[in-house]
Amino acid sequence: MAEKPIQEEKKVFMTGNEVIAWAALAAGADIMYGYPITPQNEIMHYWTRLAPKYGKKFLQTEDELSAGFTTLGGVLAGRKSFSATAGPGTTLFQEPLSMAEMMRIPAVVIIQQRGGPSTATVIYSQQEVNMVTYGGNGEGWRVVYSTATHQELYDYTIKSFNTAWKYRFPTFVLGDGYQAKMREPLVMYNPEDRGIEMVDPVASVGLPGIPGKDRSAVHLRNTYSVEEELYDATMPIQEDYDRMAKEVVEWDERNIDDADVVIISHGVVSRAAIAAMNRLRDKGIKVGYFRPITLRPFPDEQLRKVAEKCSNFVLVESALGQLARLVKAALFNMPIEKFDAVYKPGVGITAEELVERIENALK
C-alpha cells in the first residue's frame, strides 16, 4: 500500500482547490465522484493526479445528479466518498442530498460558490447559502462549514468527513471561487499526528453473511405510506440533529465586550471584516466581529449573547440577504439597536469600503 500522503507537517503555498484534494487524502477519503463545473474543477484535477498513487478512486459522472447519487452509493458501500460542485451543480445536488438527509447517508460535498442565479459568473459569490443550508424538499438536516482561509479549507475538509460519519448527516464545506483559485500559505498535516481521531466508515449494504440466514437483510427506504409513519420516521432525525447541533456548532467572535458596533459576516468576507475592525480600532472606534463558521446548525445562542452586549450590527455579505435571513431568524424577538446591511451579490467586499461605511454611519 502506498505511503501516507502527508508524512509530516509542512508549510505549503497553493490554491484552495489543491488544498481540498490534499485534505481529502489526509482525511482518508476513498473515492471522489465528480462532474466538471467552474470554479471547483481543480479539485478533480488534483485528485485524479494524486489518488491513484494512494490507491484511491475517481469517477467522472454524466451530470451532478449522478455525481451526487454515486457519492451516496459509495457511502452505502462503506467508503469515504465525496464530491465537489458549484452554482447550477449545487442546485442539482439538492436531490441526492435530500435523500442523504432522509436516509442518514454521510456524504461530503465541497461547494465553491460562483455567481447566481442561473449560470451567472464562474468567479465568486456567497449566493449559495440558502441552497446549501436549506435546499431540497426537507428540513435542512445537514452540516455546513463556511471557510475563510486556506488553512480552514484544509482543516474543515478533514473535519467534514468526521462530522459526516460520526453523526451521519451530509456535510458541506462551503467555499467560493476566490478561495478556490487564489494561492496562500497553510500548514498541511496528518490529522492523526495532531491527535485527531478519524472516524472509520461503516458499510450499510454488503455486510458479511447471508441475509435472512446469518443476519437480517438491510432494507433502506425513503418512501413512507402514510403521514403518521413519516412523522415517526422523521422526528427522531430532528432530535438527533438537535443533539448534534450543540456539539458541532462553531463560530468566531472578537472584541465584543466593549463594542459599539459589531460586524457580522461569514466565509471569505470575514477577512475584510476583521481588517476593517482592526483599522477602525486603530482609530479608536470600538468595533467587534461575529462570524458563524457553521451556517447549519447556526450559532443562534452565541449570536443572541452578542446582541445582549451590543446590537448595533453591520451585516455584510456577497449576496442579497442570504446570511441576513439566518441572522434575523437567530435574533428573533430580541431588541435590536440597529441593523445595517451591505449586500453585494456576486461581488467581493473590501476592508476599505467597510471602514468608510462604518465611519460614515457613526458620524
Closer to another protein by Cβ: residue 35 or 290: 35
Shortest Å distance, C-beta 218 to another protein: 4
b/e 312-351 (16+ beta carbons within 10 angstroms → b) = bbbbbbbbebbbbebbeebbeeeeeeeeebbbbbbebbeb
Residues 86, 113 contacting (CB under 8 angstroms): yes
- 26, 135, 310 from 1: Cα distances, Å: 15, 40, 56
Tell me if 85 contacts another protein by CB under 8 A.
no
Strand bridging mode 81-85 / 338-343: unpaired
Tell me if 136 contacts another protein by CB under 8 A.
no
Tell me if 87 contacts another protein by CB under 8 A.
no
> Which is nearest to 150 in space by CA: 62, 33, 267?
267
Grid coordinates representing 237 are: 432525525
Shortest Å distance, C-beta 210 to another protein: 5
**Site for another protein (CB under 8 A): which residue of 61, 234, 278, 302?**
61
Which x/- pattern over 89-118 shows residues binding another protein (rule: CB under 8 A)? ------xx--x-------------------
Closer to another protein by Cβ: residue 2 or 210: 210
DSSP 160-185: HHHHHHHH---EEEEEEHHHHH-EEE
| Listed ranges 62-70, 180-188, 241-249, 342-350: which one lies at the site for another protein (CB under 8 A) | 62-70
Tell me if 334 contacts another protein by CB under 8 A.
no
DSSP 97-166: HHHHHHHT---EEEEEE---SSS--SS--STTHHHHHH-SSS----EEEE--SHHHHHHHHHHHHHHHHH
| CA-angle at 10, arms to 4 and 14, nearest 5° | 100
| Listed ranges 27-35, 141-149, 180-188, 278-286: which one lies at the site for another protein (CB under 8 A) | 27-35
Tell me if 284 contacts another protein by CB under 8 A.
no
Shortest Å distance, C-beta 22 to another protein: 21
| Listed ranges 55-63, 162-170, 244-252, 294-302: which one lies at the site for another protein (CB under 8 A) | 55-63
Closer to another protein by Cβ: residue 212 or 236: 212
Which x/- pattern over 207-236 shows residues binding another protein (rule: CB under 8 A)? xxxxxxx---xxxxxxx-------------
**Site for another protein (CB under 8 A): which residue of 203, 233, 235, 361?**
203
b/e 211-250 (16+ beta carbons within 10 angstroms → b) = eeeeeeeeeeeeeeeeeeeeeeebeebeeebeebbeebbb
**Site for another protein (CB under 8 A): which residue of 18, 30, 152, 317?**
30
Shortest Å distance, C-beta 282 to another protein: 53
Shortest Å distance, C-beta 109 to another protein: 13
Residues 125, 112 contacting (CB under 8 angstroms): no
Q: Residues interacting with another protein, by CB under 8 A?
A: 30-31, 33, 57, 59, 61-63, 65-66, 68-79, 81, 95-96, 99, 203-213, 217-223
